[in-house]
Amino acid sequence: MLIQETPKAFKKAIRDNTRLIFGEILGNPGLEVLNIPGIAEVAHAASLPLLVDATFATPYLCKPIDFGADLVMHSATKFLSGHGVVIGGLLVDGGTFDWEASGKFPTLSEPYDGFHNLNFSEEFGPAAFITRARKEGLRDFGACMSPTTAFQILQGIETLPLRMQRHVENTHGVIEFLAEQEEVEWLNHPVLESHPDHQLAKSLLPKGCGAVFSFGIKGGRDAGIKFIESLDVFSHLANVGDAKSLVIHPASTTHHRMDADALEKAGISEGLIRLSIGLEDITDLTADLKRGLRSSQK
């Protein structure tokens, strides 16, 4: 197992009132790879649980609990359902964290006034957290999806392995194409040897690093706008994880109120383009991108 040295800065960030360590297996839009084993080691040494957002990877590409995470969340709106037609989420408890021994969670390990003095740890053991999350969430927030939404998510999960294989294959093809285009200023994906987390990705994500990534287009904000307007196959949407390929230029859409300096501080350049690669024929995707790139420089 490859475990990068955990930065001292991360350990120093933990305070007396810290109750959870949270991270994404694949960052957005920088595609940083979370060192789950290393972060889990630091979290558990501080008697804290580690929660990982594995939306971009899905359980097909990575199972964070196998690497030391205690809790995993997914936006089921994306790859799990796979067709961009529902809104939903998942929370998975690996049953690996001892909430009572931690001593930091009295609402789980002591009689809880908010639930008729129920002691969740005593009653449910390792399932204390997920039981309270489910019971209290339903009672207080009505967090119950419609039958149609649940059905569509379940239908999507049935084809998840096949879809993710195609997502990854198409993504690799698009990356190879973009790497050869003179209009592309930079390209960022863990599959590339130039990515700082390339070796870690090979260890944690051997089947692939998902289908969402970003690249920089020459010409900045204006070129990004022209590029988006010239695409036909890619849909201009802020979502990711759809069966169809999606594209967005943050500098002219979601972050259009930010100037160049503010964008840079946020890790977003004016020429950053984010792609979510779908299931279409790879030749159609590359032809669409080629047309867009040429138009962007006119």
What residue ranges define each of the domains in the chain, with the CATH number in brackets?
8-153 (3.40.640.10), 159-296 (3.90.1150.10)
pLDDT for 103: 93
pLDDT for 3: 46
Helix (H, G, I), strand (E, B) or coil at 169: helix
DSSP string, 144-164: ---HHHHHHHHHHHHTHHHHH
> From CA 179, how far away is CA 248, in angstroms rounded?
19
Give every CB contact of residue 275 below 8 A, 6+ residues apart in sequence: 174, 212, 213, 214, 215, 234, 245, 246, 247
Return the DSSP state at 19: -
Written as six digits, the tokens of 118 are 């129920």
Written as six digits, the tokens of 48 are 């804290």
Written as six digits, the tokens of 35 are 């060192």
Q: What is the mean pLDDT of each run of 10 residues along the chain (298 residues)?
A: 54 89 91 92 94 97 97 97 94 95 94 92 94 89 88 96 98 97 95 93 96 94 93 94 94 75 78 95 98 95
Q: Left, alpha or beta for 272 (phi > 0: left; psi -120 to 50: alpha)?
A: beta
Closest CA to 214 of 189, 183, 192, 233: 189
Written as six digits, the tokens of 231 are 């695409």
pLDDT for 6: 55
**Exposed / middle / buried, residue 194 (Cβ in 10 Å: 0-12, 13-18, 19+):** exposed
pLDDT for 65: 97
Written as six digits, the tokens of 220 are 């900045």
pLDDT for 182: 96
**Exposed / middle / buried, residue 99 (Cβ in 10 Å: 0-12, 13-18, 19+):** buried
